Amino acid sequence: MSDLKDFRPSRRGFLGLAGGAAALSLSAPAPARAQAISTKAKIVILGAGAAGTGMANRLVERLEGAEITILDGRKQHWYQPGFTLIASGLKPAGYSVSGTGDWLPKGVKWVEDYAANIDPEAQLVTTQGGEKLAYDYLILATGLSLDWAAIEGFSLDQVGQNGIGAVYAGPDYAEATWRAMDAFTTKGGVGLFGRPATEMKCAGAPLKYTFITDDYLRRKGTRAASQIIYAANNEALFSVPVVNEKVKLLFTKRGFDTRWNHILTGIDAGAKTAYYKIPEKRVLNPDGTVTVTGETTTSIAYDFTNVIPPQRAPKVVRESGLSWADKWVDQGWIEVDQGTLRHLRYPNVFGVGDINGVPKGKTAASVKWQIPVVEDHLVADIAGREGTEVYNGYTSCPMITKIGRAMLIEFDYKNNLTPSFPGVIAPLEELWISWLMKEIALKPTYNAMLRGKA
Amino acid sequence: MKDMTLETLIAVLEEIFGRGLFWAMVAVAAVVTAAYLFVLIRDRHLSARKFLAAQLFMPVGAVAAVLFVQGVTSSGFADIGGPIDWIVLLGVAAMGAIGIAILVYTVQALVAGKSRQAD
C-alpha cells in the first residue's frame, strides 16, 4: 500500500477536474438538428398510437408554422409490448396504460374523435362527429383492427374464464388472461396456442406466450401431466427462415406438439374446444402429377387457450381506396413504397406502423425506424427537395423463451438478421441480457420514441 | 436501436427511473464522488486503513447489486445463458463493489474528520 501514500492530489487538481466535468456536461452534444422549416402546410395524422404520437413530436420539431392535427378518439395510450408481461403476471394492467394527451406536443391539435371517411382525391378526412379536416399531407398511423367477430362463438367477455385468454385485446384482457393462465398452470392440462393466417402485429408474441406458459407449468411442477399444442397457420413458426429453424428446435426441446396449416375458425367455450380449417393443399409429385387434398376441418380440445383473431386495416381505411388492390385483399393494408413508406398513387399520403402494406414491420421497434423515414420525405417535400432515408424493413422481437431469458431477434425485409449489438448479443441465443432489455430498457426506449427523442 | 446518442441514452435512463429519481441519483453519485475527491485532497493521501475497511464491504456491494438487478427483473442465476450474461453479471457486481467501496471510504473519512498523517 506504500505507493498509494504517494498519491497526493492537489486542491488545484481537484478544481481542475471538477471544472472539466462541468465543461463536459455543458458541452454535451447539442443534438444535431436541422433548422425548422417554415410552412403553412396542413398535416393530418390519423391515430395517436405509437406511430402517430412519435410522428407528431418529430414534425413539431422540424416544421415551423405547420398546422398539425392528430385524430384519435381513444383517451388511453397503450404500451402494447407490455401486454405479454401483463399476461405473464409480471406487471399489472396499469403498466401499459397512460393518457393519449400526455404524449402530444404543444402546437399539435388533438381532435378526440375517429375518422369516418378518408377522401384522398379531395384531400379531406371527415370525423365520426362530422368535422371536416382538409389536408395537404396525410399520415396514416391508424394501427390495425382485431377481427374478434371472425372467431365464431368467441366474445371478449369470455376472457379470463373457462381457460380463455386474449393477450392482444388490451391491458385488462391481458390481466384477465393471466388469471386464466395462472389457474391452468396450477392444475395442468392441455394448453393450446396458435396464430391467425393474416398479417399480424408482433408475430413473435404468440410464440412467446407459448414458451412462458410452458415455463410456468415447469415451475409449478405440472408440466409432466400437461400437453402444449401449437397450431401454426401454415408450415412455419416464424417468417424468417433462420429464426423459424431455431424456434422449431426449441419447440422440440420443450416437447411442444406442433400442428401445421391450422386456421382458427371458432371456439366453443362450454365444451372447451377450438375449431380449425385446414386449407386445400396441392403437392407436386415426382412424376409430374399433382395431388390435391381438399379443405378439411378439425377440432382440438383445450384447458387453456390464447385466442388471436385475424387482423386487418380498420374499415375506414379499407373503404378509402388507399389499400393494395392486388395484395392482402382480405386485409386492406395501404399501398406504400416499402422503402419510402409513401403512398404509390397519392404522394401526399404516408403510412407509419401496422397499417403499411409492406412485408414486415408490424412492431413498435419498426415504428421507431419508420418515423425518421416518413419525417425525412415529408419535410423534404415541403422544402422542395427529395428525401433520402430508406426503411429496410427493420423489425425486432425480443422472443421470450422463459421468464428470465429471451432471444433478441432483429431482421429486415430480406430476412437478414440485423443485430443491434453484433458480436455481443447473439440473436439466436437465449440470453439473460436480452431479457433484461425487454424488462427494463424497452419501455423507456418506447417512451423516448413517443416523445420524438429516439 | 437506430441511433444511440448521448441524448437518447439520457432520455432512456430518465424513462427507466423517472426524470426526478434519475437526476437525483446522478446528483447523489456526483456528491459522493465529489466528497470522495474532497477527502482525498483534504487528507492529501489515501488512507490504507480506511481503504481496507472499504474493501471489506466490496463483496457486500457486489452481491447486493446483483440481487437488486435480479429482483427488479424477475430473474435469477439460472437464467444466465451465455458469456455475455456472465460479463453483465460481473459488471453489475463490479459496479456494486466499487460504488460501496467509495461510499464506505468517504463516510469513514468524513466522520473521522481531517487527518494529516497516514494511519
ipTM for this model: 0.78
What part of A 45-104 touches B (C-beta under 8 Å)?
90
What is the Cα–Cα distance from A404 to A213, expressed in whole angstroms?
A: 13
> B41 — contact with chain A (CB < 8 Å)?
yes
Chain B residues with CB under 8 Å of A426 CB are 82, 84
Does B73 contact A440 at a Cβ distance shorter than 8 Å? yes
Q: Helix (H, G, I), strand (E, B), or coil: what is residue B66? A: helix
Nearest CB to B2: which of A4, A8, A369?
A: A369
Which chain A residue's Cα is nearest to B81? A431
For the beta carbon of residue A133, count every other beta carbon within 10 angstroms: 21
Predicted TM-score of the model (pTM): 0.87
Closest residue on chain B to A10 (Cα): B41
Nearest residue, CB atoms, B16 vs list A9, A440, A451? A440
* CATH 3.50.50.60 domain position(s) in chain A: 37-144+313-382, 148-309
Interchain contact B7–A (C-beta under 8 A): yes
Which residues have C-beta within 8 Å of that of residue A65, sequence separation ≥ 6?
A: A38, A39, A40
The predicted structure's pLDDT at residue A15:
40
Which fold does the domain A148-309 belong to in CATH? FAD/NAD(P)-binding domain (3.50.50)
> Beta strands of A232-309 (E only): which ranges?
257-259, 263-268, 273-278, 281-284, 290-293, 296-301, 304-306
Letter for the amino acid at A454? A
Chain B residues in contact with A448 (beta carbon < 8 A): 8, 11-12, 15
Beta bridge mates, A193? A230
Among B12, B13, B79, whose Cβ lies nearest the Cβ of A435?
B79
Q: Are A441 and B16 inside 8 Å of each other by CB?
A: yes
| 8 Å CB contact of B40 and A443 | no
> Do strands A97-99 and A76-78 pair parallel, antiparallel, or not at all (unpaired)?
antiparallel
Rounded Cα–Cα distance for residues A332 and B97 (Å): 56
Give the residue among A412, A399, A410, A393 at the shortest CA–CA distance from A438.
A399
Q: What is the pLDDT of residue B3?
A: 56
| Residues contacting residue A243 through CB under 8 Å, at least 6 positions apart | A399, A409, A411, A417, A428
Are the CB atoms for A372 and A389 separated by under 8 Å? yes
Query: How close is the nearest chain B Cα to the Cα of A277, in Å?
Result: 39
Torsion angles phi and psi, residue A399, rounded to 5: -80, 100
Contacts of A18 in chain B (CB under 8 A): 34, 37
Q: Is B15 on the interface with A (CB under 8 A)?
A: yes
Which residue in the set B6, B14, B74 is minimally distant from A28, CB to CB? B6
Interface test with chain A among B46, B66, B68, B86, by most A beta carbons within 10 Å: B46
Q: What is the pLDDT of residue A10?
A: 44
A17 shares contact with chain B (CB less than 8 Å): yes
Q: Burial level of A325, CB count in 10 A (0-12/13-18/19+)?
A: exposed
User: Cα A422 to chain center, whole Å?
Assistant: 23
**Under a CB-based contact definition with an 8 Å cutoff, are residues B84 and A431 in contact?**
yes
One-character DSSP codes across A340-396: T-BBSS-TTEEE-STTB-SSS--SHHHHHHHHHHHHHHHHHHHTTS---------EE
* Chain centroid to CA A66: 29
Query: In this complex, is the C-beta atom of B69 within 8 Å of any C-beta atom belonging to chain A?
Result: yes
Direct distance between the N- and C-terminal alpha carbons of chain B, in angstroms, rounded to an integer = 51
Question: B85 and A431 in contact by Cβ < 8 A?
Answer: yes
The superfamily CATH assigns to domain A37-144+313-382 is FAD/NAD(P)-binding domain (3.50.50.60)
Q: How far apart are CA A154 and CA B77, in angstroms?
A: 41
- pLDDT tens sequence for chain A (454 residues): 344 444 444 444 444 444 444 433 433 344 445 679 999 999 999 999 999 999 999 999 999 999 999 999 999 999 999 999 999 999 999 999 999 999 999 999 999 999 999 999 999 999 999 999 999 999 999 999 999 999 999 999 999 999 999 999 999 999 999 999 999 999 999 999 999 999 999 999 999 999 999 999 999 999 999 999 999 999 999 999 999 999 999 999 999 999 999 999 999 999 999 999 999 999 899 999 999 999 999 999 999 999 999 999 999 999 999 999 999 999 999 999 999 999 999 999 999 999 999 999 999 999 999 999 999 999 999 999 999 999 999 999 899 999 999 999 999 999 999 998 888 899 999 999 999 988 888 888 899 899 998 6
Domain boundary assignment for chain B: 6-112
Chain A partners of B85 at a C-beta cutoff of 8 Å?
431-433
* CB-count exposure of residue A28 (10 Å: 0-12, 13-18, 19+): exposed
- Could you tell me which of A55, A56, A54, A60 has the C-alpha nearest to residue A36? A60
Question: Which grid cell sits at A280?
Answer: 386445400
Ranges of chain B whose pLDDT falls below 70: 1-4, 115-119
Within 8 A of B6 by CB-CB distance, chain A residues are 28-29
Bridge pairing between strands A311-312 and A145-146: antiparallel
